Structures are given as structure tokens and as C-alpha cells.
Amino acid sequence: MRIIAAIDILEGKCVRLTRGDFQTTKVYSEDPLEVAKEFADNGIRFVHVVDLDGAREKKIINYRILEKISTGTDLSIDFGGGIRTSDDISIAFSSGAGQVTAGSVAVSDPALVLSWLRAYGSKKIILGADCREGKISVNGWQDDSGEEVTAFIKRYASEGFSYVICTDVTRDGMLEGPSTELYKTVLGEIRINLIASGGISSMDDLERLSEAGCEGAIIGKAIYEGRIKLRQLRDLC
């Protein structure tokens, strides 16, 4: 299972939110590039970079920081937040993203997302399936689309998507464990590379996610709060 460290960017800083609520913003570093370098120095190879300003404004904003991380490290970057148009996705790739996550736009404009899949291929476009109580959440997790998460993933898998990041919004930033049972359910019905996100708080959580069949796990707050040490991840990687 791949270990993927999270870097969430808001107003140029590395931050974490709780359940996607901007009122809970906690700044961990003024310089996301330095955070990325520390991850790389500890053997981490993959990072999940989220443009929180972009998610809020519904357009890519922090592509300059993405470019700095890309040119300043050898990390493999998947990027999300604010991707709504073909121009947004083009900017993300030209700024150094190896993969781009399509979340809310996969609900609002499926035809556009499928055109990206055809243009860039299934290894470059990740489906973002953020959910709350089993329903897909959109617009920075503020709204409920009403669509059931497993059906949503199944629909896009049938169109050729091979990667999905599935985040349980209610667990994100809570350090209370991931939605392992949800992931087991999805993987029991759908053949797809599932990347778990939200709630990871310990090395035991990672072991359980690996046993469940997850292709990757995104770790954020647990690293920043010291619940999981970088040396532990270095040994694991």
C-alpha cells in the first residue's frame, strides 16, 4: 500500500482543517515547500496536495506553490482543489502535478470529466469521492449531492477510471480512525485502486487499510500532530 502525505494549502500556508470547516484552520507551516522537503528527506515518495483556496473559489489558485514543490523535490504529486475547467487541469499538469483529482466537477459535469479521462488517461485522472453518511459531498464538502458513494464510484469505474480517493468527511481531521468498513464494501463490489483518506491516526490504522485492500492511504493530521512519526513512515516506505 502506498503511503501518501497530505499538504493542504490555504493563503500560501500549510494547514489542516477539521471536517473541511474553514473555521477550524490550524497553520502548521508558513512554507509548504519546506514541509514537502521534510517528507522527501524521510523517504516519502508521494504527496497529496490540496488547493483549499481553489476549492473555496472554484478555480485553481495555488499552482505556483505546486510548481515550487514539483521543481524543489522529487515527490510524485497528486493535486486537487478547485479543478473545474480544462484550463484548470492544464495548469495543474503544467505546474508539475503527476495526477489530478476531479471531485465536485465529477458530479456537476460528468461529460467534461470523461473528456479529461480520454485526453489524459486513467493513470493521470483520479476520481474524488468525498462522502458524508454514505452520500457524495461537493463544493468543498459544504453540500450533499444526494448520490450514494458506492454507486458514484461504480459509475465512473465502468467508464474507465482506475483510481479513486475516497474521503469520509465526518472523519477527516478527527484522528478517530478511517472508514475501513466503507472501503471494504466498495472494494467488495468494484475493481478499482482505492486510496483511503480521512481519520487515519496510527500505524495500526494503516495496517488495517492495507489488509482491506486499499491501494494507498493519505495521512495528514496524524503526521502534523505527531501521532505518526516520520521515522515510522520512513521505515515503512
Per-residue confidence in pLDDT tens, the chain, 237 aa? 999 999 999 999 999 999 888 999 999 999 999 999 999 999 999 999 999 999 999 999 999 999 999 999 999 999 999 999 999 999 999 999 999 999 999 999 999 999 999 999 999 999 999 999 889 988 666 667 789 999 999 999 999 999 999 999 999 888 999 999 999 999 999 999 999 999 999 999 999 999 999 999 999 999 999 999 999 998 887
**Rounded Cα distance, 79 and 196, in Å:** 15
**Rounded Cα distance, 24 and 13, in Å:** 14
**Residue 148: predicted pLDDT:** 95
Contact present, 64 and 97 (Cβ < 8 Å): no
CB atoms within 10 A of CB 219: 23
Among the four given CATH numbers 3.30.43.10, 3.30.1520.10, 3.20.20.70, 3.40.50.11540, the one describing domain 2-236: 3.20.20.70
**Is residue 53 annotated as a catalytic residue, yes or no?**
no
**Residue 141: predicted pLDDT:** 62
Among 53, 78, 130, 205, the active-site one is: 130
**Is residue 8 annotated as a catalytic residue, yes or no?**
yes
pTM summary value: 0.95
**Residue 140: predicted pLDDT:** 62
